[in-house]
């Protein structure tokens, strides 16, 4: 997980969990529980304070389950190699997402890596 995990833990230590809960939902995630899911990108909500990425994933019974992944703010993507247009053109395409999972076990996570069908990768490291 690397540097971003260290940053989250450092923020928790400095600000405490109560003050972070209002804006940052890192306290919602089990930072020791990483998951990888593959499915179809269905929607991207390009908003502040965090972009939300929605992926339809087949469960064990072959039913579609919509996973929501939180990621950085839109401004975080400005200097990166992936932007809003990359997400929009990937809607309906297969993606692989690496994330940390919500503590409550729901299909919700904090995305730290996404691999698009064309091989393009975005990674928060």
Domains and CATH numbers, the chain: 28-123 (2.40.50.140)
pLDDT digits (tens, 9 = 90+) for 106-116: 999 999 999 99
What's the pLDDT at 89? 93
Cβ atoms within 10 Å, residue 83: 14
What's the pLDDT at 25? 54
What's the pLDDT at 83? 86
What's the pLDDT at 33? 86
Cα–Cα distance measured from residue 26 to residue 58, given in angstroms and rounded to the nearest whole number: 26
What's the pLDDT at 125? 62
pLDDT digits (tens, 9 = 90+) for 5-60: 444 444 444 444 333 333 445 678 888 889 999 999 999 999 999 999 999 999 88
pLDDT digits (tens, 9 = 90+) for 76-99: 887 767 889 989 999 999 999 999
DSSP letter string, the chain = -THHHHHHHHHHHHHHHHHHHTT--GGGEEEEEEEEEEEEEEEEE--SS--EEEEEEE-TTS-EEEEEEE---GGGGGGSS--HHHHHHTTTSEEEEEEEEETT-SSEEEEEEEEETTS-EEE--
What's the pLDDT at 51? 94
**124 confidence band (pLDDT: 50, 70, 90):** confident
- State the pairing for strand pair 52-58/94-102: unpaired
What's the pLDDT at 26? 60
């Amino acid at each position: 997980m690397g540097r971003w995990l260290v940053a989250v833990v450092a923020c928790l230590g400095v600000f405490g969990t109560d003050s972070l809960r209002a804006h940052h939902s890192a306290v919602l995630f089990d930072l020791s529980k990483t998951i990888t899911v593959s499915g179809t990108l269905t929607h991207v909500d390009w908003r502040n304070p965090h972009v939300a990425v929605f992926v339809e994933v087949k469960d064990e019974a072959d039913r579609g389950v919509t996973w929501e992944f939180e990621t950085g703010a839109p401004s975080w993507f400005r200097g990166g190699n992936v932007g809003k247009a990359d997400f929009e053109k990937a809607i309906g395409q297969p993606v692989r997402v690496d994330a940390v999972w919500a503590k409550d076990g729901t299909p919700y996570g904090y995305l730290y890596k996404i691999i698009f069908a064309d091989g393009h990768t975005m990674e928060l490291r």
